[in-house]
C-alpha cells in the first residue's frame, strides 16, 4: 500500500501546467477560518491554496514532492517574498526549530504516510497551533446534472476494470466527517468541521482536462485511458451539449495542538 501511494503521488508531477489550469480551487471563505501567522503547507501542488494564504499576509514554508509542481508554484508565488517552496517529501523533511502557527494540507493529507502525518504535524506546531486539512468530494446535486455522471459510469465499466457496478454519487450529507486519526492522537484536541457546497461548470474539454489530472485516470494503461476519455467526451457532446456541471463538497477539518503535547 505504501509503495502504491508513493508511485501515485509522483503521477501528479507529470503535467504540472495542466494540473494548475484544470483543477478546481477552494472557496475563498474557507481561508477566513484559518489563523494568520507562520504556516507550513504540506503538498501545495502548484500553489492554489498557497496563493490565498499568501494574500492574507502569512509567512509560508510549502513542502512539495514534485519538482515540476514546485516550479509552477514558485513562479506563481514569486510576488510573495514571505513564501518559500521546498522540493522534498514531508515524511523525511527535517522540521525547523521555529514552530508554526498553522499546518495546512489542501487535498494532500491522504497522500502522506498515515503512520506519521498527524504526529509530525503536531511536532511542527506551537502549543495551541492548528492543523487544517482540506478534502474535496464530488457529490450528488439533486438536479438533472447528476444524470450525466450516472451515464458516464458505462464508460468507466468499459475501460476501467476496477469500477464498482452501480456506483452513484452520494449527497453531501451522506459523506461522513472522519475524525478518527485526530481522536486517536494524544497531541490534538477534538476536530471540528466546516463544509462548503458549490458548483463548477465545465465544457467537454475542460472536464476531460480535469479528469486527466486525477491519479486513478493517470494510472490506467494509455489505451484504456484514451478510450475512457473519448467515451466520456462523446457522451458530453452528443447528449449534454458539451456542458457539464459538477457539484463539489469542500470540507475543512480543524484541530488544535494541545498545550501539553511535546514537540
Enter the DSSP assignment of 34. Answer: S
**How far is CA 66 from each of CA 8, 89, 119, 168, 198, rounded to the nearest angstrom?**
12, 9, 23, 33, 29
How many other C-beta atoms can be found within 10 angstroms of the C-beta atom of residue 212? 16
pLDDT digits (tens, 9 = 90+) for 134-160: 999 999 998 888 999 999 999 999 999
Q: Please identify every stretch of the chain with a pLDDT value under 70, giving residue numbers as ranges.
A: 1-14, 261-263
Q: Is the dihedral of CA 21, 26, 27, 29 positive or negative?
A: negative
Q: What pLDDT is recorded for position 1?
A: 45
Q: What pLDDT is recorded for position 215?
A: 86
Q: What pLDDT is recorded for position 211?
A: 95
Decide: 69 and 16 in contact? Cβ < 8 Å: yes
- The dihedral over CA atoms of 78, 107, 40, 18, expressed in degrees to the nearest 10, equals -20
Q: What pLDDT is recorded for position 261?
A: 58
Q: Rounded to two decimals, what is the model's pTM?
A: 0.91
Amino acid at each position: 500500500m505504501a509503495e502504491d501511494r508513493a508511485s501515485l503521488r509522483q503521477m501528479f508531477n507529470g503535467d504540472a501546467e495542466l494540473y494548475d489550469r484544470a483543477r478546481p480551487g477552494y472557496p475563498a471563505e474557507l481561508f477566513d477560518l484559518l489563523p494568520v501567522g507562520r504556516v507550513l503547507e504540506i503538498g501545495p501542488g502548484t500553489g492554489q491554496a498557497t496563493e490565498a494564504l499568501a494574500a492574507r499576509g502569512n509567512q509560508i514554508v510549502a513542502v512539495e514532492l514534485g519538482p515540476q509542481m514546485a516550479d509552477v508554484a514558485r513562479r506563481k508565488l514569486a510576488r510573495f517574498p514571505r513564501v518559500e517552496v521546498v522540493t522534498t517529501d514531508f515524511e523525511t523533511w527535517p522540521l525547523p526549530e521555529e514552530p508554526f502557527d498553522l499546518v495546512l494540507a489542501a487535498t494532500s493529507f491522504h497522500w502522506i504516510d498515515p503512520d506519521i502525518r498527524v504526529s509530525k504535524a503536531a511536532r511542527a506546531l506551537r502549543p495551541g497551533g492548528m492543523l487544517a486539512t482540506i478534502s474535496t468530494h464530488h457529490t450528488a446535486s439533486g438536479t438533472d446534472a447528476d444524470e450525466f455522471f450516472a451515464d458516464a459510469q458505462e464508460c468507466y465499466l468499459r475501460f476501467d476494470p476496477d469500477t464498482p457496478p452501480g456506483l452513484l454519487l452520494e449527497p453531501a450529507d451522506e459523506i461522513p466527517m472522519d475524525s478518527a486519526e485526530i481522536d486517536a492522537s494524544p497531541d490534538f484536541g477534538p476536530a471540528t468541521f466546516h463544509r462548503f457546497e458549490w458548483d463548477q461548470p465545465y465544457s467537454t474539454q475542460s472536464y476531460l482536462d480535469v479528469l486527466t489530472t486525477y491519479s486513478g485516470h493517470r494510472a490506467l494503461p494509455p489505451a484504456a485511458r484514451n478510450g475512457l476519455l473519448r467515451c466520456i467526451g462523446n457522451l458530453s457532446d452528443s447528449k449534454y451539449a458539451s456542458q457539464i456541471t459538477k457539484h463539489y463538497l469542500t470540507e475543512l477539518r480543524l484541530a488544535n495542538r494541545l498545550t501539553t503535547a511535546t514537540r
